[in-house]
């Protein structure tokens, strides 16, 4: 949002869509904590992460569509490899929860670490 010049109703709805899925994370986390290594809560957690990833992808595409293709925002988002990769990992992790729960946990940790590492693209685009 920092690199955005303006927003539209579509962008606001896309942002609310993302916030909805993120608001469910504490419920899924608590459910996983109460039922250690149970497949259903681990799978549900992955479903929430997947939906949040899709919502983030929709938000970024809405922002890029609202701005010019040569805008700072469009150039900083690029093809959004990190967003697409996290969606793919969560999609793989959901069925893992029913086979090897520890593999699903590993996938979720991988996604979290991926997003914790700073992405300098937007900062570079804003400061240039």
- Tens digit of pLDDT for each residue in 29-74? 999 999 988 999 999 999 999 999 999 999 988 888 887 777 776 6
pLDDT at 124: 66
Residue 2 lies in a domain: no
pLDDT at 67: 75
Residue 32 lies in a domain: yes
Residue 25 binned pLDDT confidence (cut-offs 50, 70, 90): very high
Residue 45 lies in a domain: yes
The total number of structural domains that make up the chain: 1
Give the domain extent around 14. 9-127
pLDDT above 60 for 126: no
Q: Mention every residue, 6+ apart, whose C-beta is less than 8 A from residue 56.
A: 18, 83
Residue 122 lies in a domain: yes
What is the overall mean pLDDT for the chain?
Answer: 86
pLDDT above 60 for 97: yes
Of 124 and 46, more confident: 46
Residue 4 lies in a domain: no
CA distance linking residue 41 with residue 28, whole number of Å: 7
Nearest to 121 by CA among 85, 62, 78: 78
CA distance linking residue 57 with residue 36, whole number of Å: 30
Of 117 and 16, more confident: 16
6 φψ region: left (φ > 0), alpha (ψ -120 to 50), beta (else)? beta
């Amino acid at each position: 949002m920092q690199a955005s010049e303006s927003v539209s109703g579509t962008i606001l709805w896309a942002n609310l869509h993302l916030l909805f899925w993120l608001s469910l994370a504490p419920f899924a986390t608590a459910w996983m904590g109460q039922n250690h290594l149970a497949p259903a809560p681990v799978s549900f957690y992955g479903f929430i992460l997947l939906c949040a990833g899709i919502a983030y992808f929709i938000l970024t595409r809405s922002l890029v569509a609202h701005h010019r293709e040569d805008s700072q925002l469009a150039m900083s988002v690029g093809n959004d490899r990190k967003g697409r990769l996290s969606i793919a990992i969560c999609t793989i992790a959901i069925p893992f929860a029913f086979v090897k729960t520890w593999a699903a946990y590993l996938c979720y940790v991988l996604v979290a670490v991926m997003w914790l590492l700073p992405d300098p693209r937007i900062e570079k685009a804003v400061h240039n």
